[in-house]
Structure 1
């Protein structure tokens, strides 16, 4: 590679959040000799919290790659050089020629290196189960009133806000509201199990499924948000995760988590608590079912109702089964009472 260059810029690994000190280079998006514009994605990195793209700090030609794929680098460390070649014959060195892949039959086994984020998820899930005594309580809730409100208002809501009106923001609003009455659900134990912190604010983690793996972006101060604001922040968080633009700081500081497994058709699940939180709420899919009930005078009636399951997994070291049942009962009561059209404004 020619050393005739001007205005060379050393690319360093930028800060990726307060608690992130290093990252793994997962893939360079530009090859040696490629031109890149300032702000254009240059490479992808993975941390314990997130996979993200690193933009180029300057416009020019990628003259050198100082850190190869799969290597670990500290924040602030040099990873590449961008500049302009001035010599008429300055040609970047070509990397090693990759061999053609060997054809495999459809039945052949395939072994791949587990991505860093998948390894992190595996480690944290196992650590959570090893740290706390977890169990799950499930209740069934009738959301027919919400289904009718949604059917009436969803087109106008989408036109006004640009966000589709799903069942999720109603579940979130009821769950967050109930935390004010049941503070132990929004609490955290210290590592020694000697002190508990009852959080004054609700910083809501929303589990998001993506091609990169499961991530939990945090919606700050969720208790002060109305349904339109919740719907917008839920949608934006999911979009940021799936587009790879989520920031590491957006994935930390949660006090309570919700996972919407019903979006994939699951009736209910037993989610694992996101440490050091004390509980996580799973929301099942909404289905129409024939439900018997007693009408006026005690007569048996059978009606089509919109039903869903709510499953709360919790840390039994601090949350008792009665606490979980009381919390879920409050959430259910709020959902079955329904919401007013004015609450969608």
Structure 2
């Protein structure tokens, strides 16, 4: 018998340490070569660590949420081969090679036990990357970060089994397993609409097929306090939002826009769209933003406050704030200024789905010059969005409501008519954007949206 030390490899330029966001093994587990050991998160990506050897896990580096330095021992494995080296550090040849890893491959069919499946933000593909020894795969990159389950294993010993976790073919995320355990539901009895049990399947089971063993919780009954560690993507969101608010003096401007004509035109376009995607307000608004921005280049910019340099972008790489199960992500519509409304609608759907399923690449999640954030039908009256640093502005359309408005008649006097109106919010970095610039920009966008034929005029 020999002990093999798997060290945390160099998984990106300038990365000194990575956070443990999920363990997929516990002390005492027997593992196979290429089996997923842990998910490690850096500032830019979640990286899946795979074992280059088979054996039994005897030591783990820390608990979920702990930071591990590059080159430090991550997992110690007892192998049956005496000739096994004392330690090998698995590492991609370059950071660029890691970033281009495939995102759509099948899961490893050689692992007998069903391991905890990462949250939807972790890509399901794999890309074999060479180890320092020239063999073994060792590392798999998923560009979208993911939170971990509170039921992940720790170095203190084997984790408790959750319903359907071992000895069955049930696949489910850690969050679904934890919820099923709290409800006393055996996941093996839940019918999955797909390759794994999801929250929707559990909801259907509880509503229609729970049998006699399940009793709906009493909503009025007191429950014990729950302590939730802020780790993974949620920690990154917290750090980024805090840094943005600390460093940037925000101000928000809100204006009301009459979108009656815009909504009528959108209805006509959708009625004649053919096989093209259905238009929402968002692609039309993006066209208006892109048409207005050339007159306000200070808003389509990134500010390096340490260097004291503002880079005004000649192209619009529009960030699109997207809510996922694990938190807020911002995929980027590249060169939005060159796309028509149908192309924008298609790209919006594609990027939102990629973010929610964990298939968005690092390139699709970085490099935005301006961000739009919308709560859709929950949009409320007004918002004060937080700037996506190092950008200098963020735009927040709010909910469209119908109400009576006064309209000046050509011959004099007023008349009351039914109108659809929407508030548009913009938050700006007051260090580089003046209030008059923000107000003037929103007025320019308002002109395009209230006279929507201008969106298609040369």
TM range (shorter): 0.7 to 0.9
Please list the CA deviations of residues 283-342 of structure 1 after superposition, one character each: whole Å capped at 9, or x if unmatched: 101111111101221232111111111111101111111101110011000111114897
1:47 corresponds to: 42
State the alpha-carbon separation in 2 of the partners of residues 261 and 252 from structure 1. 21
2:290 corresponds to: 176
Higher relative contact order (CA 8 A, sep 6+): 1
1:148 corresponds to: 264
User: Structure 2 vs 1, CA of residues 243 and 29 (structure 1 numbering), >3 Å: closer, same or farther?
Assistant: farther
What does 1:39-118 correspond to in 2, within 5 Å?
Answer: 44-49=39-44, 52=46, 54=48, 70=64, 71-72=66-67, 96-98=158-160, 106-118=222-234
2:22 corresponds to: 27
User: Structure 2 vs 1, CA of residues 184 and 12 (structure 1 numbering), >3 Å: closer, same or farther?
Assistant: same
Normalising by the residue count of structure 1, what TM-score does the alignment of the two structures yield?
Answer: 0.77
Q: Is the 8 A contact 2:233 2:326 kept in 1?
A: yes
User: Structure 2 vs 1, CA of residues 56 and 298 (structure 1 numbering), >3 Å: closer, same or farther?
Assistant: farther
Q: Is the 8 A contact 2:303 2:392 kept in 1?
A: yes
Return the offset for 1:23.
Answer: 3.7
Q: Is the 8 A contact 1:13 1:79 kept in 2?
A: no
Q: Residue 284 of structure 1: SS of its match in structure 2?
A: strand
Q: Is the 8 A contact 2:448 2:454 kept in 1?
A: no
Return the offset for 1:34.
Answer: 7.3
User: Structure 2 vs 1, CA of residues 289 and 72 (structure 1 numbering), >3 Å: closer, same or farther?
Assistant: same
State the alpha-carbon separation in 1 of the partners of residues 251 and 333 from structure 2. 25
User: Structure 2 vs 1, CA of residues 147 and 98 (structure 1 numbering), >3 Å: closer, same or farther?
Assistant: same
Q: Is the 8 A contact 1:261 1:268 kept in 2?
A: no
Q: Is the 8 A contact 2:287 2:455 kept in 1?
A: no
Q: Is the 8 A contact 2:41 2:232 kept in 1?
A: yes
Please list the CA deviations of residues 188-245 of structure 1 after superposition, one character each: whole Å capped at 9, or x if unmatched: 3332474322111111111111111111111111111111111111111211111122
Q: Is the 8 A contact 1:62 1:81 kept in 2?
A: no
Q: Residue 319 of structure 2: SS of its match in structure 1?
A: strand
2:386 corresponds to: 272
1:160 corresponds to: 275
User: Structure 2 vs 1, CA of residues 106 and 154 (structure 1 numbering), >3 Å: closer, same or farther?
Assistant: farther
Return the offset for 1:133.
Answer: 1.6
1:133 corresponds to: 249
1:213 aligns with 2:213: no
Return the offset for 1:250.
Answer: 2.2
1:259 corresponds to: 373
Please list the CA deviations of residues 110-133 of structure 1 after superposition, one character each: whole Å capped at 9, or x if unmatched: 111112222221222121122122
Unaligned regions of 5+ residues in structure 2, if any? Answer: 82-111, 114-156, 163-180, 184-216
State the alpha-carbon separation in 1 of the partners of residues 439 and 454 from structure 2. 26
Q: Is the 8 A contact 1:272 1:313 kept in 2?
A: yes
1:324 corresponds to: 438
Return the offset for 1:260.
Answer: 0.7
Q: Residue 158 of structure 2: SS of its match in structure 1?
A: coil
Q: Residue 236 of structure 1: SS of its match in structure 2?
A: helix
Unaligned regions of 5+ residues in structure 1, if any? Answer: 4-9
Number of residue equivalences? 325
State the alpha-carbon separation in 1 of the partners of residues 54 and 408 from structure 2. 75
Q: Is the 8 A contact 1:273 1:279 kept in 2?
A: yes
Q: Is the 8 A contact 1:41 1:53 kept in 2?
A: no
User: Structure 2 vs 1, CA of residues 55 and 280 (structure 1 numbering), >3 Å: closer, same or farther?
Assistant: same
State the alpha-carbon separation in 1 of the partners of residues 31 and 271 from structure 2. 47
State the alpha-carbon separation in 1 of the partners of residues 340 and 272 from structure 2. 17
